[in-house]
Amino acid sequence: MAQTDTPKGVPHSIPALLARNVAQFGSKPAYREKELGIWQNWTWAEAAEEIDAIAYGLLALGVNRGDHVAVIGRNRPALYWSMVAAQKVGAVPVPLYQDAVAEEMAYVLEHCFARFVICGDQEQVDKVIEVQGRVPQIEHIIYQDPRGLRKYDHSKLHALADVQAEGRAAHDRFDKELKTREAELDFDSTCVMLYTSGTTGKPKGVVLSNRNIILTSKASSEFDHLDPHDEVLAYLPMAWVGDFIFSIGQAMWTGFCVNCPESADTTLADLREIGPTYYFAPPRVFETLLTSVMIRMEDAGPLKRRLFHYFLEHAKVVGPRLLDGKNVGAMDRLKYQLGNLLMIGPLKNALGLTRIRVGYTAGEAIGPEIFDFYRALGINLKQLYGQTEASVFITQQPDNEVRPDTVGVPSPGVEIRIDDKGEVYYRSPGVFVEYYKNPESTASTKDPDGWVATGDAGFIEPDTGHLRIIDRAKDVGKMADGSLFAPKYVENKLKFFPNILEAVVFGSGRDYCTAFINIDLTAVGNWAERNNIAYASYQELAGHPKVMDMIQSHVEEVNRSVATDEMLSGCQVHRFLVLHKELDADDGELTRTRKVRRRIIEEKFHDLIDALYSGKTSQYTETEVTYEDGRKGKIKATLEIRDAATVAAGAPAQVAAE
Amino acid sequence: MLDSTQEGYTTEDGRKIGGVVMEMRNITLRFGGVVAIKDISFDIREGEIRAIIGPNGAGKSSMLNVISGFYNPQEGEVIYRGSRRPPMKPFQVARQGIARTFQNIALFEGMTVLDNVMTGRLNHMRASLLDQAFWWGKAQREEVENRQKAEEIIDFLEIQHIRKTPVGRLPYGLKKRVELARALVSEPSILLLDEPMAGMNVEEKEDMSRFILDVNDEYGTTIVLIEHDMGVVMDLSDRVVVMDYGKKIGDGTPNEVRSNQEVIDAYLGVAHD
């Protein structure tokens, strides 16, 4: 292995980092949570005391070295403390997705053989109790919020506050034991085990060591110059590696403050009250925020609306250049400042984004317009590319080099290699130790030299060194003439239009590409209303000639943009149709996380695909659908198929740079 | 059938129900010549969920208004915690620890959720006008205490996200929840709910049912509710009073009531030959 050296002066475990923080900034806020309408505050010293109390309590309950302690609940300081307390006593915290159904939970609890489960509230306790028959090894369930649990059988059930009280009482009894166990922790002991969401097959437990987490947190914190005065809002699932890195890894490393919202519904209000300086959100959050701004501006008075659009247009040109530190004329600067005073500043304040120094988005591709909107407001929004197996960071965008179409340069300490099939491999100090109880998968993912396959196809731009991700490696194919076929690349471009909800592009082994389009009922319905287009159903709206015209113009715009890319110019969409039904997870066409299941769609709509490749202008089809109550029905429709203009490959296309 | 001794009983799900807190004895309520309630007697026990059901115009809301002191019956008496209750104004009844919600929501539409909930603490305010005007001394302490209580209820009913939203902007289901919050914040020992699920969709009904059970469980509040949705009534309540044309035609556990021929007739109608 390439990673055996141990840097000097780096604490070797999360509990060691905690001790360092208590010594360095003991009276500085470490955690905040809004409770009963008031932000409660814990300093590092107070947090450490709470963590110790939980740790003593866990010892009193009989937690052994190496035990797995499952943690399930929404982001709350006490659950973060529980994870650190588990580490202190030599156990391994295993955070679980709180919205997982009992069945999924049972699999994970069984797989990691958890003897202890720490739950946020009654909902989680109920789920654990429900599956207890399958996981009889669970000895104790600890809960934080006692609501509704008073009358439960408490022979195996404990309130976290009681566990802490017992722990405090048992302080003297276990003091020596706790110190011994804490001292045993080193760089190679397991820090946390996180289960991957499991889009294919069963979830896998990714074992991450202290080395993985601490070195990654160190490198990434230094990359973005995070400091102890930063504030983050912890609202993403605790079971997700990103939250572990941001709210525990980087927070412990730099000593910044982790703020927990009052409830999931109040996140946006809490965001505004806290005004985080460092922020992470998946693209969907940014999209929703932008849509709500745009809709509210439509309802604003004419003066405000004009001010908004006037300054936004200007900001879109100047804002990103200012952020990148490029040359901007004095007049433009002045105008931007004026806009900042009148429009941008107040808008950022309303969104709670005023103080953001660094913002990240990852997980999926983000639309360039969305990306540019936030950059125009002067928000330093960047993209990163990562995986659980890498302790998040593989590549990230440095300040001044932010572009919507790349995912940045390799993070400090990460090496990247592209194999001859185009798949991206990486090696870093953050590379996971193993998949728990699954040596075959470990061996097939990570080679003996520590290189890990990402499963994504991509390439490194020769002149900038930025990585560009094209598609999932297994979806990338060749067209009949041998040119590269990357459906996701084109689908993403299509989906960036608000009117297009979903797109499925076909073309592997064919002469040309075709596409199924799903309209976005909210956006297109709104548009229809404004343009006096009457429609009675989704199907009617989807088939409306004006809607077809609109979608055609979108497809052609995408073609022009695809044509500028030499490698992928063959992926232009020649023929398309607008589907008569929304693709739905209930019908098996999407996964529960709304990812397209190509194979199933190809089988189900083979008549439509044949029609796309046969030159017909319309096709009659019948589709079986499942209603929400489980009944089945049939939708019949005759769909129009249109040809879209394409740009000849290699021709000097005149397309505005994106 | 239960006797009217002070001994409690245990429900099917194992909850302990205490002695009688309120007893209606031979209540008759008339509006001019119309007899709204005719000679009805029943009791309400500590900690139970007691439902009053019946077809439209059966006199259910009138009964609730008798309990809340809004109507004073011409005949019969209300025994509250062992002693006969003299005719009272509703605010006096409220001070005795009886709170209610209304069939058609009665909130202050222009005020925020928090302010609406705070009005429910009115009975707990003792500070003088002067203190309150200057927010000084006792008034300040009271306000902090009341806000604390209001926030606990807001947390309990999971309406934190609309704390600062004017009630007029809320959907119907949430308004109902705010009304429940306002009733709860007065820390009642008996809570009267007039059709808490009326006009709600299935999901809202499920939420409301859960909150009613939680209130009963967490605060030990005795709950008297009127409801049309039979499924909800049968699931929620420990005992049910059935009324028809101002008369009591049934009283007992949901199962007893379900098999009562008179009740079936009242709901399904009888063929007259």
Question: What is the domain-level CATH number for residue A581?
Answer: 3.30.300.30
Asked if residue A9 belongs to a domain, the reply is no
CATH of the domain at A47: 3.40.50.12780
- pTM, 2 dp: 0.84
Say whether A361 sits in a helix, a strand or coil: strand
Q: Choosing among A34, A35, A36, A629, which should be mutated to test the B contact, i.e. which has the most B CBs within 10 A?
A: A36
List average pLDDT for each run of 10 residues in chain B, which is 273 residues long: 61 83 93 92 93 89 92 92 89 90 90 95 85 86 93 94 94 92 94 90 89 91 90 89 91 89 78 61
Q: Which residues in chain B are contacts of A148 at CB distance < 8 A? A: 214, 217-218
Asked if A36 lies within 8 A of B148 by C-beta distance, the reply is yes
Chain B contact residues (CB < 8 Å to A): 15, 147-148, 151-152, 154-156, 158, 160-161, 163-164, 214, 217-218
Is the Cβ of A64 closer than 8 Å to some Cβ of chain B?
no
User: Which of A35, A148, A262 has the CB atom closest to B214's CB atom?
Assistant: A148
The predicted model gives A240-259 an average pLDDT of 95
In the block, which residue shows the tokens 């399904």?
B268
Asked if residue A262 belongs to a domain, the reply is no
pLDDT of res. B104: 83
Asked if A262 lies within 8 A of B160 by C-beta distance, the reply is yes
Say whether A329 sits in a helix, a strand or coil: coil
A36 Cα to chain B: minimum distance (Å) = 5
Asked if A150 lies within 8 A of B214 by C-beta distance, the reply is no
Is residue A653's pLDDT more than 50? Answer: no
A148 Cα to chain B: minimum distance (Å) = 6
Scanning A101-140 for CB atoms below 8 A from B yields none
Q: Which residues in chain B are contacts of A266 at CB distance < 8 A? A: 160-161
Banded model confidence at residue A220, pLDDT cuts 50, 70, 90:
very high
Count, in order, helices (H) and strands (E) of chain B: 10, 12
The answer to whether residues A544 and A594 belong to one domain is yes
In the block, which residue shows the tokens 């809607």?
A547
- Closest residue by Cα to residue A190 from A160, A211, A162: A211
User: Which of B148, B151, B217 has the CB atom closest to A151's CB atom?
Assistant: B217
Strongest mean pLDDT among A251-255, A339-343, A383-387: A251-255
Banded model confidence at residue A646, pLDDT cuts 50, 70, 90:
confident
A37 Cα to chain B: minimum distance (Å) = 7
In the block, which residue shows the tokens 């044949």?
A610
Asked if residue A274 belongs to a domain, the reply is no
A147 Cα to chain B: minimum distance (Å) = 7
CB A386 within 8 A of CB A442: no
pLDDT of res. A255: 95
Range of the domain at A44: 14-209+239-248
Asked if residue A65 belongs to a domain, the reply is yes
Distance separating alpha carbons of residues A68 and A59, to the nearest angstrom: 14
The answer to whether residues A483 and A593 belong to one domain is yes
Instruction: Please state, in angstroms and as integers, the Cα–Cα distance from residue A552 to each residue in A545, A560, A573, A574, following that order.
Output: 10, 12, 10, 10
Q: Which residues in chain A are contacts of B151 at CB distance < 8 A? A: 36-38
Q: How many CB atoms lie within 10 A of CB A511?
A: 11
Asked if B160 lies within 8 A of A147 by C-beta distance, the reply is no
Asked if residue A232 belongs to a domain, the reply is no
Element (H, E) at A34: strand A29-35
pLDDT of res. A400: 84
Number of domains forming the structure of chain A: 3
And the tokens for A7?
């840097």
Q: How many CB atoms lie within 10 A of CB A390?
A: 26
Residue predicted with more confidence, B1 or A303: A303
pLDDT digits (tens, 9 = 90+) for A398-409: 988 888 888 999
The answer to whether residues A59 and A196 belong to one domain is yes
pLDDT of res. A649: 59
Asked if A147 lies within 8 A of B156 by C-beta distance, the reply is yes
Asked if A148 lies within 8 A of B217 by C-beta distance, the reply is yes
The answer to whether residues A456 and A541 belong to one domain is no
DSSP assigned state of A163: H
A34 Cα to chain B: minimum distance (Å) = 10
The answer to whether residues A410 and A496 belong to one domain is no
Q: Which residues in chain A are contacts of B160 at CB distance < 8 A? A: 37, 262-263, 265-266
Asked if B152 lies within 8 A of A151 by C-beta distance, the reply is no
Provide the strand spans (E) within A267-422.
278-280, 358-361, 381-387, 392-396, 409-410, 415-418
The answer to whether residues A457 and A485 belong to one domain is no
Asked if residue A204 belongs to a domain, the reply is yes
Phi, psi (rounded to 5 degrees) for A220: -75, -30
Last residue of some domain: A448, A472, A496? A472
The answer to whether residues A448 and A517 belong to one domain is no
The answer to whether residues A443 and A504 belong to one domain is no
Round the average pLDDT of chain A to a whole number and report it. Answer: 89
User: Which of A150, A151, A269 has the CB atom closest to B161's CB atom?
Assistant: A269
pLDDT of res. A292: 80
- Which region among A110-124, A185-199, B36-50 has the lowest average model confidence (pLDDT)? A185-199
The answer to whether residues A310 and A365 belong to one domain is yes
Q: Choosing among B145, B156, B160, which should be mutated to test the A contact, i.e. which has the most A CBs within 10 A?
A: B160
Is the Cβ of A37 closer than 8 Å to some Cβ of chain B?
yes
pLDDT of res. B2: 46
CB B180 within 8 A of CB B106: no
Is the Cβ of A148 closer than 8 Å to some Cβ of chain B?
yes
Q: Which residues in chain A are contacts of B161 at CB distance < 8 A? A: 263, 265-266, 269
- Secondary structure in 3-state letters for A234-284: CCCCCCCHHHHHHHHHHHHHHCCEEEECCCHHHHHHHHHHHCCCEEECCHH
pLDDT of res. A570: 85
pLDDT of res. A495: 82
DSSP assigned state of A590: B
Q: What count of Cα atoms within 13 Å lies in the side-chain half-sphere of residue A157?
A: 20
Q: Which residues in chain A are contacts of B158 at CB distance < 8 A? A: 263, 265
| Assembly ipTM | 0.81
Is the Cβ of A265 closer than 8 Å to some Cβ of chain B?
yes
User: Which of A148, A150, A265 has the CB atom closest to B160's CB atom?
Assistant: A265
Residue type, A520: D
The predicted model gives A267-279 an average pLDDT of 93
Kindly give the residue spans of alpha helices, DSSP state H, lying in A544-584: 545-563
pLDDT of res. A474: 79
Asked if A37 lies within 8 A of B154 by C-beta distance, the reply is yes
The angle at the Cα of A76, spanning A73 to A80, to the nearest 5 degrees, equals 90
Is the Cβ of A176 closer than 8 Å to some Cβ of chain B?
no
CB B84 within 8 A of CB B77: yes
Say whether B141 sits in a helix, a strand or coil: helix
The answer to whether residues A195 and A318 belong to one domain is no
Strongest mean pLDDT among A256-270, A482-496, B118-132: A256-270
Asked if B152 lies within 8 A of A36 by C-beta distance, the reply is yes
Kindly give the residue spans of alpha helices, DSSP state H, lying in A185-226: 210-223
Distance separating alpha carbons of residues A270 and A262, to the nearest angstrom: 7
And the tokens for A439?
């040596």
Distance separating alpha carbons of residues B85 and B42, to the nearest angstrom: 15
Which chain A residue is nearest to residue B218, measuring alpha carbons?
A148
pLDDT digits (tens, 9 = 90+) for A533-586: 889 889 999 999 999 999 999 999 999 988 887 778 888 999 999 999 888 877
The answer to whether residues A328 and A414 belong to one domain is yes
Last residue of some domain: A418, A453, A472? A472
Beta bridge partners of A641: A577
pLDDT of res. A654: 44
Is the Cβ of A629 closer than 8 Å to some Cβ of chain B?
no
Q: Which residues in chain B are contacts of A265 at CB distance < 8 A? A: 158, 160-161
Which chain B residue is nearest to residue A36, measuring alpha carbons?
B151
Distance separating alpha carbons of residues A241 and A243, to the nearest angstrom: 5
The answer to whether residues A513 and A648 belong to one domain is yes
Last residue of some domain: A418, A447, A472? A472
Number of CB pairs, chain A paired with chain B, less than 8 A apart: 33
A416 Cα to chain B: minimum distance (Å) = 45
Asked if B160 lies within 8 A of A150 by C-beta distance, the reply is no
pLDDT digits (tens, 9 = 90+) for A586-616: 777 876 656 788 888 888 899 999 999 988 8
Which chain A residue is nearest to residue B213, measuring alpha carbons?
A148
Sheet-wide strand order for A140-143:
A92-96, A68-72, A116-119, A140-143, A157-159
Banded model confidence at residue A202, pLDDT cuts 50, 70, 90:
confident
Asked if residue A399 belongs to a domain, the reply is yes
Provide DSSP, B160-192. Answer: GGGTTSBGGGS-HHHHHHHHHHHHHHT--SEEE
Asked if residue A217 belongs to a domain, the reply is no
User: Which of B15, B151, B218 has the CB atom closest to A37's CB atom?
Assistant: B151
CB B196 within 8 A of CB B206: no
- Which region among A105-109, A418-422, B262-266 has the lowest average model confidence (pLDDT)? B262-266
Is the Cβ of A421 closer than 8 Å to some Cβ of chain B?
no
pLDDT of res. A470: 83
